[in-house]
Amino acid sequence: MSANARKTAPLPDDIRARKGGVPIVSLTAYTTPMAQLMDAQCDFVLVGDSVGMVLHGLESTLGVTLDMMILHGRAVKRGLNHAMMVVDMPFGSYEESREQAFRNAARIMAETGAGAVKLEGGVGMAGTIAFLVGRGIPVMAHIGLTPQSINTLGGYKVQGRGAAGDALLGDARAVADAGAFAVVLEKVPAVLADRVTQDIAIPTIGIGASAGCDGQILVVDDMLGLFTAFKPKFVKRYATLGAQAEAAIAAYASEVRARAFPAPEHIFADTQPEALK
């Protein structure tokens, strides 16, 4: 094999095999340019239904449609050469029945080139996960705070505190036994996240969980400071690009109003320069 051969994207089994090893790196992406920026650094990239809030101005993820996820999945796929792509199944696309879940998951896989889908739910979704996995669709599970269930959870609250920790551990065991290759743990106490990570045989991907998880994920617009409507406690801002963009736009507006832009170097003469003739 050539030493210059391009690295192929990981498969779900490759992610599963990272259990207990070097932490798995992941971010969300919704567009081709952003996918290109993170491709070399991420093991997998999630096309999250958070796109509804981050890019479409929705108040929650509940208004995100299957067509939206496929559109953004296609865009992200064009920007990836090294990272595996996982696509969220949106609210209402898999809960009705296992057959509905399969039809919609198969459509996502076929139309986006995703390596896997992600769906929310623990014990209650274990049968659906097993149904999909048994028919060739790799599934990443998501338990703890499940944003599609905020109306029944009573908002964006920490999940699994106290006695509720045993139920969440049961969810983790159920999705692992059903065949999920990894599970996202969102907004759960660190001690519980560590307990789950030690208990199950598949990787845990933390978001507001614990540094002891097998990997981490953040919404990229949160960590870059592009989405500033609110900042969850678990988000670390690695940049303030939103503020920089706002300042740049203000400078542009000021120069346009002052007729300082475009300057001579940005406009074209009515004759071709001699050097180009």
Of 217, 155, 207, 204, the closest CA to residue 186 belongs to 207
Let me know: does 64 contact 52? Beta carbons within 8 Å. yes
Is 274 designated active site? no
Q: Please identify which of the residues 95, 96, 186, 255 carries the catalytic annotation.
A: 186
- What residues are labeled active site? 186
